[in-house]
Amino acid sequence: MVVQAEHAMPKPQGWSLWVFRETPSEPAGQYACHVNTPTHIAERFRPFGSSIFAEMTRLANLHKAVNLSQGFPDFDGPDVAKTAAIEAINAGHAQYARMSGVPILNAAIAERWENEGKGTIDPDANVTVTSGCSEGIINCLVGLLNPGDEVIVFEPFFDFYVAGTAMAGAMCKFVALHPPRDGGREFWFDEAELRGAFTERTRAIVVNSPHNPTGKVFTRRELELIASLCLERNVIAISDEVYDQLIFDPAFPHISIATLPGMRDLTITLNSLGKTFSLTGWKVGWAIACPALTAAVRACHQFMTFSTSTPLQYGAAAALREAGDYAAKMRELYSGNRDRLSAALTKAGLKVYPSYSTYFLMADHTARGFDDDKAFVQHLIEKVGVAAIPPSGFYNRKELGSPLVRFAFCKRRETVDEAIRRLEKL
C-alpha cells in the first residue's frame, strides 16, 4: 500500500516552503501549523500538503500582489443566473435537490449537448448534476476504480485527478505534455509514451481538453489516437471539458471525445458552470454518460454530497438557457488579455508558449536566471507584486515543471494592465 502510494502521488519535498512558512501577518493566537506537529492526516493525503492555489492567493494578499495565480475571474457572472437563483430562494426552493439534479437543470444540460450537435441524450438517465466539476472528477475516480487499478493522466495535470486516484487506492501513470518544439505551435505528447502507459491494469484515462494549465486544445488526430487505445482495451475516458466554451482560435476547435465513433458508451464527460459563466464559487457541475457509467458516478455522488445546492441549480439552468452572448464576450476579453500579457512577458525576457483556450498561459522563465519555478514566483510576488503559480506541483516529474510558470488571465482588463505595468520592474 505504501509503495503504491509513492508511485501514485506527487512527492511533497519542496512544498513545505509554501505550506508551513510562518508569516508576520498571522494574527496572534491563530492556530499555527508547525512542522513538528504530529499529523492526523490519513497517509493517502499526506503527500499533497495544502493546495498551491490557496497558498499563492494567501501570499498575493500578504504582499498586495496582483493575483494572476488562481483561476477565478475578479468580476461577476451574468445577471440572468443571479436573478434566477435569487428567485428560487424566494420561491422556497430550500430543501435537498433530487440526487441526480433539479430536472430543469438536467434538461438544460441535455439541451446544450444536443444544440452542439453531439446527439440526443436523456436528461434523467444520462446527466448527473455535481457540486462543481471537482466533485464530478472524484465521483468518476472513486466510483469506477478498485485498489490496484491504473489511471492514465497527462502531466501537467489538474491536481484533483491525482488526489482522486489516491482516494480510490488506485495508481496514476503519467504521460508528459511537452512545450512546443522549435517551430511547433502546440504542447505535444509522445505516441510511444502514451501507448506504453496502457497496461492490463489500466481502467481509465483522464483527458482534459481544453487543457489547464497549458491552454492546449487536443486535436482530432490526438483524440482519435486516445479513442483507439480506449476501444482496443476497454478503457474509460474521463473527459474534463470545463473550458470548452473558451476557445480563442478557430484553428483549434473543441472536440468532445465522447462524439468520436465508438466512444459514447466509454466516456464520462464532465463540465461545469464556473469557467464559462464566471461563477466559479457556485460549484455547479455535471457528468454526462451512458447509464452503466452514470451508475458508477452516482454510486459515489450519493455518498459524497448526495445533491448540489438547489437554488443555484435553478440559476445554472437560466445561465445555460438565457445568458445569450456572455461566453462570446468572455472569449473576447480573455483572448485580448492573453495577447497583452504574452507581449509583456516576452518583453520581460520570458519565453511565452501559445495558449488557445482556458484561463491560462505557460511561460519559460529560465532566461531570468532563477533556480526553479518556486524561486521565480517568490521573486515575482515579493519584488514585482504579481502572483503566478509555480507549476511543478502539476507534474509527477517535477523537473518538467521547474522551468515554467503559469499565469491566469481571466481577470478584468484593468487588473491585467496593472500586472503588466508592474512586470516592467522585472
- Give contact residues for ligand PMP (rule: CB under 6 A): 71, 132-134, 158, 208, 212, 240, 242, 272, 274, 280, 283, 285
How far is it, in rounded angstroms, from Cα 221 to Cα 390?
31
User: CB 52 → ligand PMP: shortest distance, Å?
Assistant: 12
Nearer to ligand PMP, 70 or 392 (CB): 70
User: CB 426 → ligand PMP: shortest distance, Å?
Assistant: 26
Residue nearest to ligand PMP (CB): 132
How far is it, in rounded angstroms, from Cα 10 to Cα 17?
16
Nearer to ligand PMP, 212 or 370 (CB): 212
Angle at 238 between CA 232 and CA 239, to 5 degrees: 110
How far is it, in rounded angstroms, from Cα 126 to Cα 287?
8
User: CB 405 → ligand PMP: shortest distance, Å?
Assistant: 17
Q: Please spell the DSSP secondary structure of 244-280, one letter per residue.
A: TT-B--TTS----GGGSTT-GGGEEEEEESHHHHT-G
User: CB 62 → ligand PMP: shortest distance, Å?
Assistant: 22
**What contacts 175, CB < 8 A, 6 or more positions away?**
152, 153, 154, 155, 189, 190, 193, 194, 197
Burial of 281 (0-12, 13-18, 19+ CB in 10 A): exposed
Nearer to ligand PMP, 283 or 365 (CB): 283
The amino acid occupying position 336 is G
Nearer to ligand PMP, 244 or 372 (CB): 244
User: CB 58 → ligand PMP: shortest distance, Å?
Assistant: 17
Nearer to ligand PMP, 47 or 285 (CB): 285
Nearer to ligand PMP, 78 or 285 (CB): 285
User: CB 358 → ligand PMP: shortest distance, Å?
Assistant: 7
How far is it, in rounded angstroms, from Cα 214 to Cα 357?
9
Q: Which of these, 159, 158, 173, 169, lies nearest to 204 by C-alpha position?
A: 173
Nearer to ligand PMP, 128 or 272 (CB): 272
User: CB 272 → ligand PMP: shortest distance, Å?
Assistant: 3
Contact 409, 361 (CB under 8 A): yes
Nearer to ligand PMP, 212 or 313 (CB): 212
**What contacts 151, CB < 8 A, 6 or more positions away?**
141, 145, 161, 165, 170, 171, 172, 173, 202, 203, 204, 205, 206, 238
User: CB 164 → ligand PMP: shortest distance, Å?
Assistant: 11
**Phi and psi (nearest 5°) for 112?**
-65, -40
